[in-house]
Structure 1
Amino acid sequence: MSSAEAVKEKSPGSEKATVGKAAVVEAPQKVTVKEVDLPEPGDREVRIKLEGSGVCASNIPVWEGRDWFDYPVTAGEPGHEGWGIIDVVGDGVKDLKKGDRVTALTYKAYATHDIAKEESVVKLPDSFAGKAFPGEPLGCAMNIFDRSDIQKEQKVAIVGSGFLGTLLVQLAKSAGAEVIAVSRREFSLETAKKAGADHLVEMDDHYKIIEKVNELTGGDFCERVIECTGKEWPLNLSIELTGTRGKLIVAGFHQDGMRSLNVQMLNWRGIDMISAHERDPQQYISGIKAAVKAVEEGKMDPYPLFTHSFSIEEMDKAYKHLTERPDGFIKALIVN
């Protein structure tokens, strides 16, 4: 079976054993769990018995519904933050074996099993045994950090202190920066403080925030600003918090179409505006490998940020937490 057919719904009367499960978004805000035929890896592919998957904010449009999505969504989609143990190795695989504990780029990870190409798999060290490791978002944080080019003693504002923003607070502090965390929720600001943020600014009034950051930076604003919200207003706010010849890194996942931006301010201050989203799978893999190293070295600690866990049968609850973000919520995991 090809990777494109990796997880398929069992057809009535099939004689093939159906020992796997996958979540299916049947329609907007309706999800079920179905028995599925176990996928078989092709050449240079492996099958991973998934221990779990992270739940990503990019799933929100699929869950809420958009005109351009077809329902039901393919079983296991849009899960892409899985980790687990290899249980079947396809032909031609050289550097992986059955029993290896790994994280990988896969695309049907809201399931008990998924298929990955050999080059899209990263082995996890023994020191991570028993610990969740959703590699894709952790690798994403490392790639954003790399694109940000943060230097020692720079003033860095991170706008949005959710899972990604808090990881970037940790990484910016590891580089020796002075970090200003800007966030809407009090709980998120407290989380950023625990992660090492030097200053906390509530995201309430546009001009009060600018005035506060102006004060904290002696009128120079920030050499680096990382926008992590995916919303138009905080993106424009981030432009105004970026100093002359500074860099604005767009890390938020902007999924609502066009944006109106303060290009005048971008021009006037000579700001470099960088989209930190990667599309090359191998760059994601490089980021995941860097994330493994960063966690081993203590530069990044995601574990306090995994605040909620759900079984695959509780996918609807996971999606609702993702969209409603109750107090205390940062990152949900689906744990098999």
Structure 2
Amino acid sequence: MALNEGDTPVGLREQSNRKMTAIVCHGPEDYRVQQVDRPVPEEREMVLRIAACGICASDCKCWSGAKMFWGGDNPYVKPPVIPGHEFYGVVDELGPGAAEHFGVGIGERVIAEQIVPCDQCRFCRSGQYWMCEVHNIFGFQRVVADGGMAEYMRIPRTARVHKIDEGISANDAAIIEPLACAIHTVNRGDIQLDDVVVIAGAGPIGLMMVQVTKLKTPKLLIAIDMVDERLQLAKTFGADVVINPREQDALTVVRSLTDGYGCDVYIEATGSPSGVEQGLNLIRKLGRFVEFSVFGAPTTVDWSIIGDRKELDIRGAHLAPYCYPIAINLLSRGLVTSKGIVTHRYRLEEWDTAIAVANSLESIKVLMDATSQENGRM
């Protein structure tokens, strides 16, 4: 449904002083379920009715007060703010010109990328929008818009929006954002057919990395984690070898599979400093080390390994540029799945339980759902 310039946003004539349920971050371990004003779309903006919003590992670290989010003179989190960047929803309201601007209509399922680019800095203007200098991300600052842990969410005009194919299930739609991040990370590894690839960390995104890496058909795919249940799931997703460092020496296993050299590509997705040190030891000389994780504390390693001893190619992986359409396509073709990854779903009112479960080994991926009457383990 298109609007003419100057029209009142769809639905606003009949609905004034509207409230909605949302989770609001006020500080570390101070997240409250509150009634707040529903967002109103302005010109070339829209409002989504949120279908689901995942709790990310970075959300858990933020909730627990990790210094990287709260410390320093310019903290990354600026409360009060509604958290949540792993969301998708249905177009509920369109501001003037929004239908044409985004190419969407009322009732369509869509997702917006987690970053809201400024479209003015050198990175945005050169097409490298995911490295935007301003760097507003949904769910951490209210500079542009709140996040998706609410019934409704405003999508500003510079957001990158993508339609979700009708055949994609609700749980699959809920993993589009982390899957897109996994795709970008795997692509940064430049995986070749004769590569031995190690993915360290079989959490939600690590398990998606396993699925995406398998599509690259490397010679050997190894997954490392300390939870046997997650390793078994990694095997169902295509890992050739799984290693639990509590029970096996990862260095011995990897070297035994590579004529003593080490892996060609190491993807770090543990979020633990030990995962970095492990990778520097497991990777061969001239190998490619891809760092994805968000750490809750600084990591210290012997940098001489990187240069003097192995001349490694160290690559970062940030967000998911140009990968959302790929993620949607892979899900629509059944090449990647959320089955086994999405384990729990909770109503917004059950936030305290949801964050506790998300912070435990009881879950893999926890979703917040403003519409469901069901909750708990799936």
What TM-score range do you get, normalising by the shorter chain? 0.7 to 0.9
Q: Does 2:336 align with 1:297?
A: no
Change (3 A) 1:72 1:145: closer
- Note if 1:190 corresponds to 2:229: no
CA distance in 2, matches of 1:263, 1:71: 30
Give the equivalent residue in structure 2 for 1:40: 40
Q: 1:139-176 deviations in whole A, cap 9, x for unaligned? A: 11111121111122311001111111111111111111
- From 40, 53, 76, the counterpart of 2:82: 76
Task: Tell me the residue number matched to 1:31.
Answer: 31
Question: Aligned with 1:212: secondary structure?
Answer: helix
Over 3 Å counting, the alpha-carbon distance change for 1:254 and 1:70 in structure 2 is closer
Could you give the per-residue CA deviations for residues 178-225 of structure 1, whole angstroms, max 9, x where no partner exists?
11111111111111111111001112379x211111112221211111
Give the one of 366, 370, 373 matched to 1:332.
366
Query: AA paired with 1:209?
Result: A
| CA drift at 1:260 | 1.1
The separation in 1 between residues aligned to 2:172 and 2:243, in whole angstroms, is 31
* Alpha-carbon shift at residue 129 of structure 1 (Å): 5.0
Q: Determine which of 300, 303, 319 is the counterpart of 1:260.
A: 300
Point out the more displaced range, 308-317 or 18-27: 18-27
Q: Say what the alpha-carbon RMSD is for the aligned residues.
A: 2.2
The equivalent residue for 1:85 is: 90
Counterpart Cα distance in 2 of 1:31 and 1:275: 31
Whole-angstrom CA distance in 2 between matches of 1:85 and 1:72: 27
Q: What is the identity, as a one-letter code, of the residue corresponding to 1:195?
A: F
Matches within 5 A, 1:169-248: 169-177=210-218, 178-204=220-246, 208-248=249-289
Q: Which residue of 2 aligns with 1:112?
A: 151
Secondary structure of the residue aligned to 1:102 is: strand
Counterpart CA distance in 2 for 1:307 and 1:234 is 25
* 2:204 alignment counterpart: 163
Equivalent residue number for residue 99 of structure 1: 107
Higher mean alpha-carbon deviation, 240-249 vs 126-135, is at 126-135
Counterpart contact for 1:26–1:71, Cα < 8 Å: no
Distance apart, 1:299 and its partner CA: 3.0
Q: Which residue of 1 aligns with 2:8?
A: none
Q: Larger deviation: 115-124 or 155-164?
A: 115-124
**Shift of residue 239 of structure 1?**
1.1
Residues 1:245 and 1:72: Cα distance change in structure 2 (over 3 Å): closer
Q: Does structure 2 conserve the Cα–Cα contact (< 8 Å) formed by 1:22 and 1:75?
A: no
Distance 2:172 2:191 in 1: 28
Aligned residues: 312
Give the 3-state SS of the residue equivalent to 1:99 in structure 2. Answer: coil
CA spacing shift, 1:126–1:272, aligned 2, 3 Å: same
Shift of 1:287: 1.4
Could you tell me which runs of 5 or more consecutive residues in structure 2 were left unpaired when the two chains were aligned: 1-14, 114-137, 140-146, 371-378
Structure number with higher helix proportion: 1
SS of residue matched to 1:128: coil
1:244-292 CA-partner distances (Å, limit 9, x unpaired): 2110000111231x321122222212210111114xxxx53x2111111
Q: Distance in 2 between matches of 1:190 and 1:47?
A: 40
Q: Which amino acid aligns with 2:235?
A: K
Aligned positions of 1:129-140 closer than 5 A: 130-134=170-174, 135-140=176-181
**TM-score normalised by structure 2 residue count:** 0.77
The amino acid of 1:332's aligned partner reads V
Aligned sequence identity (%): 26
Q: Determine whether 1:59 maps to 2:59.
A: yes
Deviates more, 1:316-325 or 1:227-236: 316-325
- Secondary structure at the counterpart of residue 76 of structure 1: coil
1:7 aligned partner: none
**2 CA distance for matches of 1:109 and 1:317?**
18
Give the Cα–Cα distance (whole angstroms) in 2 for the partners of residues 247 and 101 of structure 1.
37
1-structure distance, mates of 2:49, 2:90: 5
- Whole-Å separation in 1 of the counterparts to 2:279 and 2:247: 13
Contact 1:40 1:115 in 2 (8 A): yes
